[in-house]
Amino acid sequence: MQLDQKFEVTKQRMTYKSMLSQTQAMLKIIWDNLSVSINQIYDWIEKDNAEKNVYMMEMDKINIRLDQEIKSFIQKMNEIINKIQSLIKIQTQQDEGDSKLKNEKINQLNILEGHCDIVNSVCISPNGTTLASGSWDNSIRLWDVKTGQQKAKLDGHSNSIISVCFSPDGTKIASGSDDKSIRLWDVKTGQQKAKLDGHSSSVNSVCFSPDGTSLASGSGDKSIRLWDVKTGQQKAKLDGHNGQVYSVCFSSDGISLASGSGDRSIRLWDVKTGQQKAKLDGHSNTVYSVCFSPDGTALASGSYDQSIRLWDVKIGQQKAKSDGHNNSVISVCFSPDGTTLASGSDDKSIRLWDVKTGQQKAKLDGHEYGVFAVCFSPDGTTLASGSRDCSIRLWGTKLHK
């Protein structure tokens, strides 16, 4: 099935949510009307004693019929639920079979549970103490990295959170959502500071500039926008992509911005002028994630074509291609020292790659479903991952021989 999995699934999920919500509302209206009607009939029967027994007999028949219909409806619903549960059981058995060979080189430090839907984005604060997560349950949550305890829950978005990012000074969080808005939050108070409107479709990615004065956003409306963090005003709109923009990332010097898109291309932009500097072609399908190396000389990309590619930013050429994942690569992130690249995939695994050689260093298994986000801590000792299994996991990144 040739689907843009990451967002086709959420469309289907939202369709089901809408359908169930409408059904619930309709059932409530029907039940309320039925209750009123039945009570009115019983009131009328009590007043009309002449033919009371006749009407009571008719009502008994109606009650029996109603009871049968309700039981039949419940039975049909149970059959549907059982069918869904059997599919889950089959998938779980397949998952267990696929994960018999566990990688023992990386220690899993903690599992953070609280979200009730897919964890689409994770970001660790500049001081390494707090983790922010964004989920399809419409919430942002803040976690204590050391204890794994939830510190706060930020509500405000009316749809799925697709991207979260800490400001360089750690005082603010930016979030992008399926509700088409960007919001800025005060980390200390958990309060919303600003709402940035302008995109006409989902905001798939947000990224602060290194100096914290600007915010870049990539959207399903195919545009990239630059915002003034202080005023909340749009500074520029970068057009060029022919598909959804799934990822944006500033270079460490703040001069360049990279973007990855559903049009299969990566583009490099001059932040000051808003002009496109280069177009990097090579991926054969949607580019879900782009990440600059800490020194700004290289760019990593992950794609629906299951590959990871490294690019020389200066000349705009592909340096290396790493294969190993057997499903979409949805997130890539460099370690702070630039020697390791982490990748998260819909194949349920996280992999660590040697940037110099392009070889796989480790495979991290544990998530039950696809991994949608990976992020290193500032000191490089911890890796956070967010998954379709609704959990966040923390991993110690020291390799054990």
From 56, 76, 98, give the residue that closes a domain: 98
Q: Check whether residue 255 and residue 143 sit in a common domain.
A: yes
What pLDDT, in 10s, does the model give residues 307-344? 999 999 999 999 999 999 999 999 999 999 999 999 99
Q: Which of 72, 98, 124 is the last residue of a domain?
A: 98
Distance CA 115, CA 75 (A): 31
Residue 198 is assigned to a structural domain of this protein: yes
pLDDT of residue 66: 72
What CATH number is associated with residue 379? 2.130.10.10
Is residue 84, in this structure, part of any structural domain at all? yes
Segment 146-193, tens digit of pLDDT? 999 999 999 999 999 999 999 999 999 999 999 999 999 999 999 999
Q: Are 163 and 146 in contact (CB under 8 A)?
A: no
pLDDT at residue 400, rounded to an integer: 47
Chain segment 70-95, per-residue pLDDT in tens: 766 766 776 676 667 666 555 544 44
154 and 73 both lie in a single domain: no
Average pLDDT over all residues of the chain: 86
Residues whose CB falls within 8 Å of the CB of residue 126, separated by 6 or more in sequence, listed in order: 166, 168, 169, 170, 378
> Is 401 part of any domain?
no
End-to-end CA distance of the chain: 40
Write down the residue that tokens 């695994």 correspond to: 349
Indicate if 74 and 126 belong to the same structural domain.
no
Q: How confident is the model over 210-229, as pLDDT tens digits?
A: 999 999 999 999 999 999 99
The neighbour count for residue 103, using CB atoms within 10 Å, is 15
Has residue 36 got a pLDDT over 90?
no
pLDDT mean over 2-29: 62
Do 209 and 297 reside in the same domain of the chain? yes
> pLDDT tens digits for 367-392?
999 999 999 999 999 999 999 999 99
Q: Which two tokens stand for residue 74?
A: 């419940």
Q: Give the pLDDT confidence score for residue 101 in this predicted structure.
A: 35
The C-alpha atoms of residue 29 and residue 39 are separated, in whole angstroms, by 16
How many folded domains does the chain comprise?
A: 2
